[in-house]
Amino acid sequence: MTIQVLDHPLVHHKLSLIRDRKTPGSLFRSLIEEVGLILATESTRQLPVETVVVETPLERTGTLRLKSLDPVLVPVLRAGLGLLPSFLKLLPTAKVGHLGLYRDHDSLVPVPYYRNFPPMLEARPVFVLDPMLATGGSASEAVRQLKSAGAVNLSLVALLAAPEGLERLHGDHPDLTIVVGAVDRQLNEKGYILPGLGDAGDRLFGTA
Ligand SMILES: O=P(O)(O)OC[C@H]1O[C@H](OP(=O)(O)OP(=O)(O)O)[C@H](O)[C@@H]1O
Ligand SMILES: O=c1cc[nH]c(=O)[nH]1
Ligand SMILES: [Mg+2]
C-alpha cells in the first residue's frame, strides 16, 4: 500500500483553523475546499500523460496532456461532498459516483444506503473522497464495493487519518493508494479521531 502524507505548511495552517471548534460552518466548508485543492493536486500526480502537438502563437511544439479516460470521483456521503468541488475544479471532465454510508453509532460498522457508480470503472482511475479515515471501516467498504463493480486503479483521499484506520486499510486493501493531509494520534472510545476536527459531516452541513 502506498501512503502519502502531505506535509505542507498550507495544509498545517488551514488544518489548524479547521480543527478549531470556534470556526463557523461557512469558513469550515471553504477551508475544506482549499485543502481539497492541494489534496487533488497531489493525489493526481500519477495520472498518465501523453505527448500531443499544438501550435503556440510562435511555433509547433510537443506538449503533455492527460492520457487516460476521464477519472472517476466517488465522494462518500455525506462528508466526502466537502472535497468534491475542489476535485471537479481541477478535473472538470471527471465522472462522479456517489456512495452513501453512515457509521452505526454503537457498532461503528458502516451502513450502506445509496450507490450510483458511472460505467467503465475498470478503465479509469478512481478517487474515493472522504475527509475522515477513522476506524477505516467506511473507506474499506467503499473500496470493496468499487472493486466488486470493476475498479482496479483506486486511490483514497482523506484530510485526516487515524493510525488505526491506516492499519485496517493496509490489511484489507494492500493495493490501495492513500493520500492524506495529516495523520493524527489515535481514536477515542467512540471512534472519533484525536485531536481531530469533530464530526466532519455535521460541521459541513450544520446538523449538530
Ligand atoms: O473510518 P470510519 O470509522 O468508518 O469513520 C469515518 C466515516 O465517518 C464519517 O461519516 P459518518 O458516518 O459520520 O457519516 P456522515 O458523513 O453522513 O456524517 C466520515 O465521513 C467517514 O465516512
Ligand atoms: O473523528 C471523526 C471520526 C469519524 N467521522 C468524523 O466525522 N470524525
Ligand atoms: Mg458524520
The residue whose CB lies within 8 Å of the most ligand 2 atoms, and thus the one to mutate among 159, 193, 194, 207, is: 193
Query: What are the chain's domains?
Result: 2-45+72-205 (3.40.50.2020)
Ligand nearest to the CA of 113: 1
Spell out the alpha helix ranges (H) of the chain: 9-19, 25-43, 84-90, 137-148, 163-172, 200-205
Ligand nearest to the CA of 136: 1
Q: Which atom of ligand 1 is nearest to the CA of 168?
A: 1
Output the nine-digit C-alpha cell for 146. Answer: 468499487
Q: Is 172 helix (H, G, I), strand (E, B) or coil?
A: helix
Query: Cβ–Cβ contacts within 10 Å for residue 90, how many?
Result: 13
Regions of the chain with pLDDT less than 50: none
Q: List Cβ neighbours of 51 (8 Å cut-off, separation of 6 or more).
A: 62, 63, 64, 65
Ligand nearest to the CA of 143: 1
Annotated binding site: 78, 103, 130-138, 193, 198-200
CB contact at 8 A, 169 and 70: no
What residues does ligand 1 touch, defined as CB less than 6 Å away? 76-79, 101-103, 108, 110, 130, 132-139, 165, 191, 199-201
What residues does ligand 2 touch, defined as CB less than 6 Å away? 79, 132, 134, 191-193, 196, 199-201
203, with CB counted inside 10 A (0-12, 13-18, 19+), is buried
pLDDT (tens digit, 9 = 90+) per residue, 103-156?
A: 999 999 999 999 999 999 999 999 999 999 999 999 999 999 999 999 999 999
